[in-house]
Amino acid sequence: MQTTGSFAKLAEEVLARCRRLALFSEDTCGTRRTFLSPPMKDCHREVSSWMKALGMSVSVDAVGNLRGLYPGASLGAPRILIGSHLDTVPNAGAFDGILGVVLAVGLVESLEKSKLPFAIEVIGFSEEEGVRFGVPFIGSRALVGRVDQELLDRRDEHGVSVRKAIQDFGLNPETIPDAQLRDDVLGYLEFHIEQGPVLENLNRPLGVVEAIVGQNRLEFTFSGHANHPGTTPMHLRHDALAAAAEWIVTVESTARETAEMVATVGFVEAKPGATNVIPGEARATLDIRHASDKLRGQTLDDLIRRAQAIAAKRGVSVEWRTLLAQNAVEMDHFLTGQIEQAIRGSGCQPHRMPSGAGHDAMIVAEKVPSAMIFLRTPGGISHDPAESVHLDDVAKALDCGFQLLTQLASSQEFLGRTCRA
Ligand SMILES: [Zn+2]
């Protein structure tokens, strides 16, 4: 049985390893490691060496996911997946995604060679951030059979297609179907930094994700009349930007009225865009997210009605188009409950929360019961070199993960599950 002290030592190693991987970068200054880039090879070599030292068999599938299998107690035992992503954004921190992979390797280490009724497959996804090809989740999509020809034909800024990038990395795109999950998978677990301020505000080290929020992205265009700002009296104007501005403030106040609703206008553009012209047209985007598809839909309908009312009152027109509509993905109820129990077992008070950001678990959940554990993120800072995580929280996460594996190993309900893959 592991002790709190040994988790603290293991946590130190996990942090040191995350920082070491941050050195494998496409940029000389800062960390940037995109899909199938040369430093990803170095990253694979390093993580593979840790896995092999624990008796894991390591392979890289056709989209570049690093997969290490720690065998179960018996031949043909089912498996659970534990993982996250190894790619990064430009000028990244050391922990987004990476921590989930390194922590999974640490959990295998914490077993001290003992075997469970299931094998553990640690996955380091090759692509989650969508930096190189503008499409996220290429790694996890391969596991659920969602890498199609259109995706393989996509090109990066240098004109290299996904297919060519796979070949250049020494992999064979024809074998992508082999990356798909088989029917021996009992579940998927992902440890990830929260990347937000909620857990820190509550002073809790660990959170359990109930659902990954759904989101809509739209573009609104307000059309009025451009005119002379000196000769047009205020009451005879049809100012498109003023209409957009009134609506933007309404977006903010409306979202504040509903718990856990977040809505953002992140882009505005006024035309013609001159100091001495009343704006004739204003474009504004909307990003709205919530774990409840129903509530999100109602709020979105309300915001569209408000845009129409504001436009009508000001004698301008408004049109909108949808850029993205994605439903929420619920995490597995059984696993979520087990995680809460394990968090309590590690001496922490669990906090159930939605994830406002997308994660690999959202894709894997299409085929396999999936769940996520969040680690408190100091200052809520992520996608920045200042991203960090507390050593104590990593030790708690390892403790929680170890307890979770122990719970699952003795759960007939879990072991009796069959995969939907
Ligand atoms: Zn991430």
pLDDT by residue (tens digit) across 42-86?
999 999 999 999 999 999 999 999 999 999 999 999 999 999 999
Work out the end-to-end distance of the chain between its first and last CA atoms, rounded to an integer number of angstroms. 34
CA of 85 to the centre of ligand 1 (A): 6
Whether 1 shows a pLDDT value over 60: the answer reads no
Whether 5 shows a pLDDT value over 90: the answer reads no
User: How many residues comprise the chain?
Assistant: 421
pLDDT in tens, 118-137: 999 999 999 999 999 988 99
The confidence band for 421, taking pLDDT boundaries of 50, 70 and 90, is very low
CA of 127 to the centre of ligand 1 (A): 10
Beta bridge partner(s), residue 326: 215
| Phi, psi at 56, each rounded to 5° | -90, 145
| Phi, psi at 178, each rounded to 5° | -65, -20
CA of 406 to the centre of ligand 1 (A): 26
CA of 45 to the centre of ligand 1 (A): 21
CA of 191 to the centre of ligand 1 (A): 10
From CA 242, how far away is CA 270, in angstroms rounded?
A: 10
Whether 179 shows a pLDDT value over 70: the answer reads yes
From CA 87, how far away is CA 167, in angstroms rounded?
A: 18
From CA 328, how far away is CA 330, in angstroms rounded?
A: 6
Cβ-in-10-Å burial (0-12, 13-18, 19+) of 21 comes to: buried
CA of 197 to the centre of ligand 1 (A): 16
CA of 65 to the centre of ligand 1 (A): 15
CA of 193 to the centre of ligand 1 (A): 8
Average confidence score pLDDT of the chain:
96
What's the confidence (pLDDT) of residue 6?
Answer: 83
Judge whether 83 and 123 are in contact, CB under 8 Å: yes
- Nearest one of 25, 27, 13 to 99, comparing CA atoms: 13
174 CB neighbour count, 10 Å cutoff: 10
CA of 307 to the centre of ligand 1 (A): 34
CA of 344 to the centre of ligand 1 (A): 25
What's the confidence (pLDDT) of residue 417?
Answer: 80
3-state class (DSSP) for residue 165: helix
Buried b (16+ CB within 10 A) or exposed e, 107-120: bbbbbeeebbbbbb
pLDDT in tens, 269-304: 999 999 999 999 999 999 999 999 999 999 999 999
Token duo for residue 341: 């129990």
Percent of the chain with pLDDT over 90: 96
Please give the full DSSP string across 370-388, using - where no structure is assigned: EEEEEE--GGG--SSTT--
Mean pLDDT confidence for 306-328 = 96
CA–CA distance from 212 to each of 215, 255, 290, 291 (Å)? 10, 18, 8, 6
The confidence band for 265, taking pLDDT boundaries of 50, 70 and 90, is very high
Judge whether 394 and 231 are in contact, CB under 8 Å: no
pTM for the structure as a whole = 0.91
CA of 322 to the centre of ligand 1 (A): 25
Whether 409 shows a pLDDT value over 70: the answer reads yes
Mean pLDDT confidence for 364-373 = 97
Judge whether 11 and 398 are in contact, CB under 8 Å: yes
| Phi, psi at 225, each rounded to 5° | -130, 125
| Phi, psi at 309, each rounded to 5° | -65, -45
CA of 116 to the centre of ligand 1 (A): 28
From CA 92, how far away is CA 22, in angstroms rounded?
A: 8
- What DSSP character marks residue 203? T
Give every CB contact of residue 18 below 8 A, 6+ residues apart in sequence.
94, 95, 98, 99, 102
Mean pLDDT confidence for 153-175 = 97
CA of 114 to the centre of ligand 1 (A): 30
Mean pLDDT confidence for 103-110 = 98
CA of 209 to the centre of ligand 1 (A): 14
What's the confidence (pLDDT) of residue 353?
Answer: 97
Whether 109 shows a pLDDT value over 80: the answer reads yes
pLDDT in tens, 187-219: 999 999 999 999 999 999 999 999 999 999 999
Which is more confidently placed, 376 or 421?
Answer: 376
